[in-house]
Amino acid sequence: MFTFKNTLKHFFHLFTQSNCPLCQRPTPQEFCPSCSKQLQKCQLNEPCRLWQQETPVFAWGAYGGILKRAIAVMKYNNCPDIARPLGHYLGEAWLQNLPSTEKKIAVVPIPLHPSKLKSRGFNQAALIAESFCEMTGLQLRVNGLQRVRATEAQHSLSETQRQKNLAAAFAVGEDLLRHRHDYVLLIDDIYTTGATAREATITLSTASISAIGLAVCAAGMKLS
């Protein structure tokens, strides 16, 4: 349903202007030219710099400044449309840098627990993954993982607490049970300590599915 509404909204944008969700200036695009320019300055020159670590991470931008604000506005100010350009940025960077070309990859967003999904109204990772797949042509398996246990908000927890918080939080979803894939690329909005990606990877490995890594719009903390 979101895809239809999103397509319709972009059609009307051809004839009307809306307000930039980051500064409220009128604009026919997702962001006004000023905010778009500031966002592009957040892009990393080396999005694969974390790809060789234990949990490989492909990151479009550095988590800070206007990119951090855009993600917060998307999630907490009910602006799911922000996910579309962020997913396209990520997909374009993936195509330009392509960490792997040899494997048939399914794209799986990090899921929200049903209670959180109901409260927020959308899963930002799933929307980012949708536009990422539009750009890359990779196969989206939106229900590849399920969040079967509600967890605390991660931002206030230490790295050890985050790992405990996420233990047994995921299960392999129907999209991967019905359509077998040997390789999965996880998608999320932010990467910080890697606890979420590690737990999702462990869950997939129990079904003999390999997560080749995590692709995110923004990476922080361990980036430096």
Average pLDDT estimate for 183-189: 96
Determine the length of the chain.
224
Please state the pTM of the whole predicted model.
0.85
Tokens of 87: 């997913």
Q: Is 213 helix (H, G, I), strand (E, B) or coil?
A: strand
Name every residue whose Cβ is closer than 8 Å to that of residue 89 and which is 6 or more positions away in sequence. 39, 43, 60, 61, 217
DSSP state of 138: P
Query: What is the DSSP code string of 60-124?
Result: EEESSHHHHHHHHHHHHTT-GGGHHHHHHHHHHHHHHH-S-SSS-EEEEEPPPPHHHHHHHSS-H
Higher pLDDT, 91 or 159: 91
> What whole-number distance in Å separates Cα of residue 220 and Cα of residue 170?
23
Cβ atoms of 19 and 151 closer than 8 Å: no
Higher pLDDT, 115 or 160: 115
pLDDT digits (tens, 9 = 90+) for 60-114: 999 999 999 999 999 999 999 999 999 999 999 999 997 665 678 899 999 999 9
Say whether pLDDT at 26 is over 50: yes
The band of 121, judged by pLDDT with boundaries at 50, 70 and 90, is very high
How many CA within 13 A on the CB side of residue 174? Answer: 0
Q: What is the mean pLDDT of the chain?
A: 86
Cα dihedral 207, 202, 211, 145 in deg (nearest 10): 70
Whole-number percent of the chain with pLDDT over 70: 80
pLDDT, position 18: 86
pLDDT, position 181: 78
pLDDT digits (tens, 9 = 90+) for 190-211: 998 888 999 999 999 989 999 9
pLDDT, position 224: 44
The band of 21, judged by pLDDT with boundaries at 50, 70 and 90, is very high
Average pLDDT estimate for 156-170: 63
First-to-last CA distance in the chain? 39
